[in-house]
């Protein structure tokens, strides 16, 4: 039965090449955009280099302080001391890393200015992440305690800063913002979209201008809590929350008196969405409206278009519908047939889209549009794509199939 | 085998009502070969559609094999059509995208249990052998003559071994030689036990059946038993 349906679907495709071209063009284009988008979302939120342990990590990105009347709000990253006291000392995590977000700096090679991003980290940063050291090694507790002026740089920065790329950069001197540092390691860079790990140059937190000794709650630091396994993640969240709840309130920090303190430790996706949702009702509405609009444009509009094409194609097959019904096909079976045919066509479009997506992703990765972009079509992207194909096929196939099912046999045979 | 009681069929649009059939009472016994004649638009095809459960009467009762089907739902009607009735149409209604054997297999696709896979193929092959087209199984309808197409349609009608065959002007699109060929096949099927109801405009063809029903303006105006010339 299924083979019969697919045979028919294939023949229908071959019957009108122009119609088929329009249909497949629409499906492939839509699915290509969705697959590239899925790949990009996977790139943003998945566990990828150098954050390969994201699936068992929690992120502490900001604290929010509020007064009891909730009229004032103060929010942002935390001080190194705060995170050391409340996060670093947690019992359950395997490791806790404290670092800043990246900030911009300048370096000069002769008269040429290199714009770069720097980050201050602790030694555990190199343990919770999975950076590939191309040369040298990371700084350790001893280096940090000694206050050594050392740096780990990325391969891209090495290319920009040093003339001789064949020679090792380890042990060489770099000058950033008039301060000299000795390169102790070269890593393969992290994409700019991974804000917890991205930078061009990494300094120990004891390096100048890190503000790690700042007192008070607020500062420039964030933390990554690495659990031993996925099951420990909720335990760590609870443990951290207990610590935060024990901070006596009201408290004063940087002259701001607050009664409510929120410091969420969240998985990466939750943390990312939390940033948007915390922006107030207006921003939240805008975010969800935008998502609804994008989904409608990407999935709804082409599906409606395909519905119209399918309806006109179904009328062409009125005689076939009449015959099948006359010889005993129940309405439900025919609806199923048209849905199967439509899903089959969608999957052909999906296969074309997969090839197109693969090419586009290669182009994006090679373009340098996102530094160190590593978009891929991995298993999860592929499975999501298959699911999208299925939903799209059902969405565009059900309505024509239902309209067809209302066709009377006698009328269908007259056509 | 088929009983129609007080059948009326009215086609309604928003503006007009057309009475297609009125007060039809008819009983067809198993093994009969009946022809229905009448001028164009008199309701012959409508009557055949009602017998074949392809359409519903506006009033009256249809019985097939003793079952009153008037209140049957889509699934039950589909099952009954599939098991008991085979159709032959003037314009063949073959699916051009399917090969001859795939076309013939169609009724078996919707039959559960006894017709699966290889046995389905075998039944379709046998039906094509009966109509002398076993050498055209892999062909497509577009590659066949009118007579061959109608023979494929007959094979499709008989593949499920139905008790009743309803033929709507089966020779209407064929020349007389081809028409006679088709008529011979129908007579053979009838001799094999099938009940056949055939709509025709051709008096010669009608005379080869056992009983002739005449319709005029939607009413049954004649029902005569014919002298059997074929035996």
The CATH number of the domain where B105 resides is what?
A: 3.40.50.300
A239 pLDDT band, cuts 50/70/90, is very high
CA distance B103 to chain A (A): 10
Contact check, Cβ <8 Å, B74/A328: no
Q: Which two tokens stand for residue A299?
A: 């999935």
Query: To the nearest whole number, what is the mean pLDDT of chain B?
Result: 90
- Of A397-401, B97-101, B138-142, the poorest mean pLDDT is in A397-401
Give the ipTM of the model, two decimals please: 0.91
Q: Which two tokens stand for residue B41?
A: 């638009």
Q: Which two tokens stand for residue A176?
A: 């950033």
Residue B34, C-beta contacts closer than 8 angstroms, at least 6 positions apart: B28, B196, B197, B198, B209, B210, B211, B212, B213
Residue A2, C-beta contacts closer than 8 angstroms, at least 6 positions apart: A340
B231 pLDDT band, cuts 50/70/90, is very low
Residue-level pLDDT at B149: 93
- Of A12-16, A350-354, B168-172, the poorest mean pLDDT is in A12-16
A401 pLDDT band, cuts 50/70/90, is confident
- Of A72-76, A113-117, A139-143, B191-195, the poorest mean pLDDT is in A72-76
CA count, 13 A, side-chain hemisphere, A409: 27
- Asked if residues A185 and A154 have their Cβ atoms less than 8 Å apart, the reply is no
- The answer to the question of residue B176 being in a domain is yes
pLDDT of B6 > 90? The answer is: yes
Summarize the confidence of residues A315-331 as an average pLDDT.
87
For residues A201 and B93, what is the distance between their CA atoms, to the nearest angstrom? 75
Question: How many of the other CB atoms lie within 10 Å of CB of A415?
Answer: 12
Summarize the confidence of residues A177-202 as an average pLDDT.
94
Q: Which of B55, B105, B109 sits opposite A410 (nearest CB)?
A: B55
Domain count, chain B: 1
Summarize the confidence of residues B40-51 as an average pLDDT.
93
pLDDT, tens digit, 9 for 90 and up, residues A68-112: 777 888 889 999 999 999 999 999 999 999 999 999 999 998 889
Residue-level pLDDT at A411: 84
For residues B67 and A136, what is the distance between their CA atoms, to the nearest angstrom? 89
Q: Which of B83, B97, B110 sits opposite A333 (nearest CB)?
A: B110
Question: How many of the other CB atoms lie within 10 Å of CB of A307?
Answer: 18
Q: Which residue has the higher pLDDT, A50 or A335?
A: A50
pLDDT, tens digit, 9 for 90 and up, residues B24-37: 999 999 999 999 99
Residues of A in contact with B49 (CB under 8 A): 409-410
Summarize the confidence of residues B42-47 as an average pLDDT.
93
- DSSP-based three-state secondary structure for B136: helix
Summarize the confidence of residues B7-19 as an average pLDDT.
89
Q: How many Cβ contacts (< 8 angstroms) between chains A and B?
A: 71
- Asked if residues B3 and B30 have their Cβ atoms less than 8 Å apart, the reply is no
DSSP letter at B15 equals S
B78, B100, B105, B158: best mutation site toward chain A, by most A Cβ within 10 Å?
Answer: B78
Query: To the nearest whole number, what is the mean pLDDT of chain A?
Result: 87
Residues of B in contact with A20 (CB under 8 A): none
- Phi, psi of B137, rounded to the nearest 5 degrees: -60, -40
Query: Residue B74: closest CA among chain A residues belongs to which residue?
Result: A330
User: Percent of chain A beyond pLDDT 70?
Assistant: 98
- The answer to the question of residue B17 being in a domain is no
Contact check, Cβ <8 Å, A409/B54: yes
For residues B33 and B200, what is the distance between their CA atoms, to the nearest angstrom? 13
Summarize the confidence of residues A120-148 as an average pLDDT.
95
- The answer to the question of residue B197 being in a domain is yes
Residue-level pLDDT at A77: 94
For residues A127 and A94, what is the distance between their CA atoms, to the nearest angstrom? 10
Query: Residue A4: closest CA among chain B residues belongs to which residue?
Result: B102
Residues of A in contact with B75 (CB under 8 A): 330-332
User: Percent of chain B beyond pLDDT 70?
Assistant: 96
CA distance A50 to chain B (A): 54
- The answer to the question of residue B10 being in a domain is no
- Of A306-315, A335-344, B62-71, B195-204, the poorest mean pLDDT is in A306-315
Residue-level pLDDT at A279: 63
User: Percent of chain B beyond pLDDT 90?
Assistant: 69
Place of tokens 């540092």: A181
pLDDT, tens digit, 9 for 90 and up, residues A250-280: 888 777 788 899 999 999 988 888 776 766 6
- The answer to the question of residue B200 being in a domain is yes
Domain of residue B116, residue span: 31-42+73-225
- Asked if residues A258 and A74 have their Cβ atoms less than 8 Å apart, the reply is yes
Residue-level pLDDT at A281: 66
**Nearest by Cα to B209 from B182, B173, B183, B185:** B183
pLDDT, tens digit, 9 for 90 and up, residues B92-110: 999 988 899 999 999 998 8
**What does the buried/exposed string (b/e) look like for A344-372 if buried means 16 or more CB atoms within 10 Å of the residue's CB?**
bbbbbbbebbbebbbebbeebbeeeeeeb
Residue A159, C-beta contacts closer than 8 angstroms, at least 6 positions apart: A165
- The answer to the question of residue B65 being in a domain is no
- DSSP-based three-state secondary structure for B37: strand
DSSP letter at A256 equals E
Residues of A in contact with B160 (CB under 8 A): 327-328
For residues A65 and A99, what is the distance between their CA atoms, to the nearest angstrom? 21
pLDDT, tens digit, 9 for 90 and up, residues B184-206: 999 999 999 999 999 999 999 99
């Amino acid at each position: 039965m299924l083979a019969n349906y697919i045979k028919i679907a294939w023949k229908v495709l071959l019957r009108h090449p122009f119609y088929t071209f329009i249909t497949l063009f629409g499906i492939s284009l839509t699915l290509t955009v969705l697959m590239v988008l899925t790949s990009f979302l996977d790139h943003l939120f998945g566990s990828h280099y150098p954050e390969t342990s994201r699936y068992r990590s929690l992120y502490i990105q900001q604290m929010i302080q509020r007064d009891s009347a909730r009229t004032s709000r103060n929010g942002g990253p935390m001080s190194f001391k705060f995170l050391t006291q409340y996060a670093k000392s947690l019992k359950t995590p395997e490791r806790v890393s404290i670092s800043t977000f990246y900030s911009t700096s300048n370096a000069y090679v002769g008269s040429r200015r290199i714009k770069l991003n720097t980050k201050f980290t602790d030694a555990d940063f190199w343990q919770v992440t999975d950076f590939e050291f191309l040369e040298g090694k990371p700084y350790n507790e001893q280096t940090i305690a000694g206050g050594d002026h050392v740096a780990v740089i990325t391969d891209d920065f090495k290319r920009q800063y040093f003339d001789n790329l064949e020679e090792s950069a380890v042990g060489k001197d770099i000058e950033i913002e008039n301060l000299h540092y000795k390169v102790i390691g070269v890593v393969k860079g992290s994409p700019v979209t991974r804000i917890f790990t991205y930078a061009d140059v990494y300094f120990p937190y004891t390096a100048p201008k890190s503000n790690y000794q700042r007192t008070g709650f607020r500062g420039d630091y964030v933390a990554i809590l690495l659990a031993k396994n996925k099951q420990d993640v909720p335990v760590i969240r609870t443990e951290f929350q207990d610590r935060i709840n024990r901070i006596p309130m009201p408290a004063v920090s940087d002259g701001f008196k607050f009664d409510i303190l929120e410091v969420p430790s969240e998985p990466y996706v939750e943390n990312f969405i939390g940033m948007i949702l915390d922006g107030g009702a207006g921003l939240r509405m805008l975010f969800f409206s935008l998502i609804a609009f994008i989904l409608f444009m990407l999935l709804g509009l082409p599906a409606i278009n395909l519905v119209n094409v399918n309806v006109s194609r179904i009328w062409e097959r009125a005689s076939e519908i009449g015959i099948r019904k006359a010889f005993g096909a129940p309405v439900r079976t025919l609806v199923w047939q048209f849905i199967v045919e439509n899903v089959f066509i969608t999957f052909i479009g999906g296969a074309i889209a997969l090839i197109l997506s693969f090419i586009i992703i290669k182009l994006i990765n090679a373009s340098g549009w996102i530094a160190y972009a590593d978009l891929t079509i991995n298993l999860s992207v592929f499975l999501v794509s298959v699911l999208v194909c299925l939903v799209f096929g059902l969405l565009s196939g059900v309505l024509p199939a239902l309209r067809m099912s209302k066709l009377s046999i006698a009328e269908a045979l007259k056509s | 085998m088929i009983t129609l009681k007080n059948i009326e069929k009215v086609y309604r649009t928003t503006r007009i009502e057309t009475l297609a059939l009125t007060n039809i009472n008819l009983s067809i016994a198993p093994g009969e070969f009946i022809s229905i004649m009448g001028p164009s638009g008199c309701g012959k095809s409508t009557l055949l559609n009602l017998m074949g459960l392809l359409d519903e009467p506006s009033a009256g009762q249809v019985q097939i094999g003793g079952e009153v089907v008037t209140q049957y739902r889509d699934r039950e009607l589909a099952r009954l059509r599939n098991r008991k009735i085979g159709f032959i149409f003037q314009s063949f209604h073959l699916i051009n995208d399917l090969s001859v054997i795939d076309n013939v297999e169609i009724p078996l696709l919707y039959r559960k249990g006894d017709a699966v896979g290889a046995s389905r193929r075998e039944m379709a092959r046998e039906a094509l052998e009966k109509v002398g087209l076993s050498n055209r199984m892999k062909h497509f309808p577009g590659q066949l003559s009118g007579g061959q197409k109608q023979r494929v349609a007959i094979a499709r009608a008989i593949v499920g071994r139905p008790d009743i065959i309803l033929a709507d002007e089966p020779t209407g699109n064929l020349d007389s030689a081809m028409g006679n060929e088709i008529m011979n096949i129908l007579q053979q099927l009838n001799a094999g036990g099938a009940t056949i109801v055939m709509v025709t405009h051709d008096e010669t063809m009608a005379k080869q059946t056992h009983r002739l029903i005449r319709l005029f303006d939607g009413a049954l105006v004649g029902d005569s038993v014919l002298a059997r010339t074929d035996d």
